Amino acid sequence: MIPRYLTDVSWQDLPRHEYGTLVIGSGVAGLYTAIKSAKFGKVLMITKKALDESNTRYAQGGIAAVIADEDSPDFHLQDTLMAGAGLCDEDAVDVLVHEGPARVNELIRLGTEFDLEDGELALTREGAHSQRRILHAHGDSTGAEIVRALAHQALEQPNLEIWNDHFVIDLLTVGGECFGALVQRPDGSRIAVFAKATILCSGGAGQLYRYTTNPEIATADGIAMAYRAGAEVRDMEFVQFHPTALSYPGAPRFLISEAVRGEGAYLRNAHGERFMERYHPLLELAPRDVVARAILDEMARTKTTFVYLDITHEPREKVLHRFPMIYTTCLHYGLDLTSDWIPVAPAAHYMMGGVKTDLYGETTLKRLFACGEVSSTGVHGANRLASNSLSEALVFGKRIVKKLTELPALELAKLPGGFTDRLTMALRKDVPMTPVVEKKLKLQKVMLRQVGLVRTEEGLEKAIEELKRLTSLFESRLTKREEYEFANMLTVSLLIAVAAQIREESRGGHYRSDFPSPDDAGWRRHIVFQREGGTFVEPVRPRIAAAEPSGELPAAQAQ
Q: Which of 409, 360, 261, 320 is nearest to 139 (CA)?
A: 320
Percent of the chain surpassing pLDDT 70: 91
Is residue 355 scored above 80 in pLDDT? yes
The C-alpha angle 326, 57, 435, rounded to 5 degrees, equals 100
Determine the average pLDDT of the residues in 508-526.
96
Domains, the chain, in order of start with CATH, read: 242-348 (3.90.700.10), 426-519 (1.20.58.100)
> Residue 465, Cβ neighbours under 10 Å: how many?
12
Is residue 55 scored above 60 in pLDDT? no
Indicate the range of 190-194, 249-253, 417-421 predicted with least confidence.
Answer: 417-421
* Interatomic CA distance for residues 298 and 276, integer angstroms: 10
* Interatomic CA distance for residues 470 and 439, integer angstroms: 8
Q: Are 168 and 181 contacting, i.e. CB atoms less than 8 angstroms apart?
A: yes
Determine the average pLDDT of the residues in 230-238.
98
- What is the structure's pLDDT at 558? 36
Is residue 433 scored above 90 in pLDDT? no
Q: Which of 517, 442, 504 is nearest to 209 (CA)?
A: 442
For residue range 485-494, list pLDDT tens digits in order.
999 999 999 9
- What is the structure's pLDDT at 228? 96
Determine the average pLDDT of the residues in 350-375.
97
- What is the structure's pLDDT at 121? 93
- What is the structure's pLDDT at 56? 60
Determine the average pLDDT of the residues in 23-30.
95
Q: Are 504 and 489 contacting, i.e. CB atoms less than 8 angstroms apart?
A: no
Is residue 559 scored above 50 in pLDDT? no
- What is the structure's pLDDT at 418? 45
For residue range 188-207, list pLDDT tens digits in order.
999 999 999 999 999 999 99
- What is the structure's pLDDT at 414? 65
> Phi/psi at 409 (nearest 5 deg)?
-65, 155
167: DSSP letter: E
- What is the structure's pLDDT at 487? 97
pLDDT tier for residue 257 given thresholds of 50, 70 and 90: confident
Residues designated catalytic: 288
Determine the average pLDDT of the residues in 137-158.
91
Q: Please classify residue 193 by burial: count the beta carbons closer than 10 Å to its beta carbon, then call 0-12 exposed, 13-18 middle and 19+ buried.
A: buried
For residue range 309-325, list pLDDT tens digits in order.
999 999 999 999 999 99
Is residue 417 scored above 90 in pLDDT? no
Q: Considering the chain, what is the average pLDDT of its residues?
A: 91
Determine the average pLDDT of the residues in 397-401.
97
pLDDT tier for residue 14 given thresholds of 50, 70 and 90: confident
Q: Which of 144, 199, 498 is nearest to 353 (CA)?
A: 498
Is residue 57 scored above 80 in pLDDT? no
Q: Are 540 and 524 contacting, i.e. CB atoms less than 8 angstroms apart?
A: yes
Find the helix or strand (DSSP H, E) in which 161 lies: strand 160-163
- 142 or 55: which leads in pLDDT: 142
Is residue 434 scored above 80 in pLDDT? no
Give the number of C-alpha atoms closer than 13 A to the C-alpha of residue 34, restricted to the C-beta side: 35
For residue range 279-301, list pLDDT tens digits in order.
999 999 888 888 999 999 999 99
Determine the average pLDDT of the residues in 137-152.
89
Determine the average pLDDT of the residues in 538-557.
60
Question: How far are the Cα atoms of 54, 131, 137, 146, 558 from residue 114, in angstroms, in the given order?
Answer: 20, 18, 4, 9, 13
